[in-house]
């Protein structure tokens, strides 16, 4: 055995002993202060419990979902990462090399993802229309002249049509889609994994402060001195506290997403990096000490375990959205132009959706926004606040964090649950292609990847449990 190997092993043992010793000194004889001691029992505002979700996710969902997300259809995502921040001067760009996003050459993106092939009847129709269409010959020059229809449309009219379409779409969407905007590019998510990039400090704290202050409560009286963000103490979120369910749900969704992101950063922490000009190599792995700092009761005024529980809440909400949209998702073509891969993916999705439908206690969205005229205004505010949060993502100074922030949005799931367009399972199961599609490919990719992030977070929690033991 070589000396370098022995030296590396000794360093690893030393680092592990230090981390374990820190945790042991914090928790030995004080089991009630462990990060996971309160992460059990019923999930608030749901009918299921933590143990049920753990088993269902880790045994059934996580392996299947990981396989789905590795397919071409789900790993290519189109987004605009060049939008300027609409709320404040963007003066805190992350300068670390790990913040950058590796965009892909469009030649590497399957043709079916970019659009139909040249041989497709649909493409041929739009191509002919774009070039001016065909004038019907009615038998004489006079008839041809009389029957001629000028199909040209001015640029100004096109802009007006787009404004109408955007307005109609905004009535149902809980986020702002930017895949059609100038500057949007395809990104291969497998080449840009979500992990710790070094983006932190005032810029990152300002993002989270803005996100939390967009919630229904709008109060900054609750401010944790360590996390630099306003939050609602768990004791004030009970059903009898005067906070309506819709407001509780809003806060728990934001808190759960925040917890999920923090878990990913702790599970994929930059442990070391190679020094050198423009070197992008590094070693990532779990950082137990960082996890304890972010979630242990002693470091978070006893709130950390409740933040972890909010992760389970947002997981159950997105799980319900997938179950509700299952009849629609079963009829999607998931077309990339690669026949064999497309067929395998469709079969895998059928299996995945069947498993989701076996979950025993789905979230009941019908208990929300059901109180008459007042609930309509609350629903409008609910939607507008989430749309505003999607704008805040354009203020994130780290491109990779901005990318995954857009992907972790709840917009598609909330659209499925609350737009009303997915309430009729019979119409969703129809394979009538003349009906206008209710979900764009970008929305489907975002929905599955967002749920994939939550599924991975819950799986990583089990890994941290084992490390801490």
Q: Is 71 left (phi over 0), alpha (psi -120 to 50) or beta?
A: beta
Is 258 known as a binding-site position? yes
Q: Is 197 annotated as a binding residue?
A: yes
Q: Is 333 annotated as a binding residue?
A: no
Which residue of the set 216, 266, 395, 401 is catalytic?
401
CB 402 within 8 A of CB 81: yes
CA 75, distance to chain mean position in Å, is 13
Q: At a CB cut-off of 8 Å and minimum separation 6, what does 256 contact? A: 307, 310, 311, 312, 313, 314, 315, 454
- Counting Cα atoms < 13 Å in the Cβ hemisphere of 354 gives 6
For residues 43 and 306, what is the distance between their CA atoms, to the nearest angstrom?
10
Residues forming beta bridges with residue 78, ordered by sequence position: 186
% helix / strand / coil in the chain, to the nearest 5?
55, 5, 40
Closest C-alpha among 235, 238, 255, 237 to residue 295: 255
Those residues whose C-beta lies under 8 Å from the C-beta of residue 156, and which sit 6 or more positions away, are none
CB-based contact 457:264 (threshold 8 Å): yes
Q: Which of 469, 466, 461, 460 is nearest to 24 (CA)?
A: 469
Find, among 181, 171, 174, 203, the residue nearest to 96 by Cα.
203
Distance CA 38, CA 380 (A): 34
Rounded Cα gap, residues 160 and 173, in angstroms = 20
244 labelled catalytic: no
398 as an active site residue: the answer is yes
Alpha carbon distance, N-terminus to C-terminus of the chain? 30
> Which residue among the candidates 94, 99, 104, 398 is catalytic per the annotation?
398
CA 248 to chain centre: 20
Is 387 annotated for ligand binding? no
Residue that is written with structure tokens 């088993």 in the block: 55
Tokens representing 295 are 């979630």
d(CA 303, CA 192): 31
Residues 6+ positions from 152 with CB-CB distance below 8 Å:
132
Between the CA atoms of 59, 60, 65 and 71, what dihedral angle is there, to the nearest 10 degrees? 100
Q: Are 193 and 382 in contact (CB under 8 A)?
A: no
Please state the φ and ψ torsions of residue 103, each to the nearest 5 degrees. -75, 160
Torsion sign (Cα): 124, 128, 129, 135? negative
Report in angstroms the alpha-carbon separations of 221 from 157, 216, 303: 49, 14, 16
Catalytic residues, by residue number, are: 398, 401
List, as residue ranges, the binding site. Answer: 195, 197, 208, 255, 258, 294
From the annotation, which residues make up the binding site for FAD?
195, 197, 208, 255, 258, 294
């Amino acid at each position: 055995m070589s000396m370098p190997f022995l030296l590396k092993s000794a360093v690893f043992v030393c680092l592990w002993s230090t981390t374990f010793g820190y945790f042991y000194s914090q928790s030995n004889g004080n089991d009630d202060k462990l990060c996971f001691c309160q992460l059990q029992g019923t999930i608030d505002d749901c009918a299921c419990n933590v143990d049920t979700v753990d088993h269902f996710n880790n045994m059934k969902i996580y392996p299947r979902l990981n396989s789905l997300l590795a397919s071409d259809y789900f790993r290519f995502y189109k987004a605009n990462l060049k939008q300027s921040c609409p709320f404040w001067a963007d003066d805190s760009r992350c300068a670390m090399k790990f913040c950058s996003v590796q965009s892909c050459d469009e030649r590497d993106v399957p043709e079916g993802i970019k659009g139909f092939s040249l041989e497709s009847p649909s493409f041929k129709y739009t191509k002919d229309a774009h070039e001016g269409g065909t004038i019907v010959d009615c038998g004489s020059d006079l008839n041809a002249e009389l029957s001629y229809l000028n199909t040209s449309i001015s640029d100004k009219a096109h802009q007006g049509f787009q404004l109408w379409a955007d307005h109609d779409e905004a009535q149902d969407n809980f986020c702002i889609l930017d895949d059609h905007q100038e500057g949007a590019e395809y990104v291969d998510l497998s080449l840009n994994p979500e992990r710790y990039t070094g983006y932190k400090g005032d810029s990152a704290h300002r993002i989270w402060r803005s996100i939390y202050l967009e919630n229904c409560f709008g109060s900054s009286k609750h401010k944790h001195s360590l996390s630099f963000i306003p939050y609602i103490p768990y004791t004030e979120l009970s059903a009898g506290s005067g906070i309506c369910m819709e407001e509780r749900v809003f806060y728990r969704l934001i808190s759960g997403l925040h917890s999920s992101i923090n878990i990913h950063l702790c599970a994929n922490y930059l442990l070391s990096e190679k020094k050198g000009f423009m070197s992008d190599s590094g070693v990532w792995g779990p950082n137990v000490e960082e996890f304890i700092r972010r979630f242990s009761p002693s470091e978070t005024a006893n709130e950390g375990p409740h933040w972890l529980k909010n992760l389970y809440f947002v997981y159950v909400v997105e799980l319900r959205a997938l179950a509700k949209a299952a009849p629609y998702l079963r009829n999607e073509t998931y077309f990339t132009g690669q026949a064999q891969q497309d067929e395998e993916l469709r079969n895998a999705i059928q299996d995945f959706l069947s498993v989701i439908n076996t979950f025993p206690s789905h979230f009941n969205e019908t208990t929300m926004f059901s109180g008459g005229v007042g609930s309509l205004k609350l629903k409008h505010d609910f939607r507008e606040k989430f749309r505003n949060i999607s704008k805040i993502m354009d203020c994130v100074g780290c491109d990779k964090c901005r990318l995954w922030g857009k992907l972790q949005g709840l917009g598609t799931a909330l659209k499925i649950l609350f737009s009303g367009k997915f309430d009729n399972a019979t119409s969703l199961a129809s394979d009538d292609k003349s009906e206008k599609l209710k979900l764009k490919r970008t929305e489907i990719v975002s929905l599955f990847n967002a749920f994939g992030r939550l599924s991975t977070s819950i799986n990583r929690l089990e890994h941290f449990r084992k490390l801490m033991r």
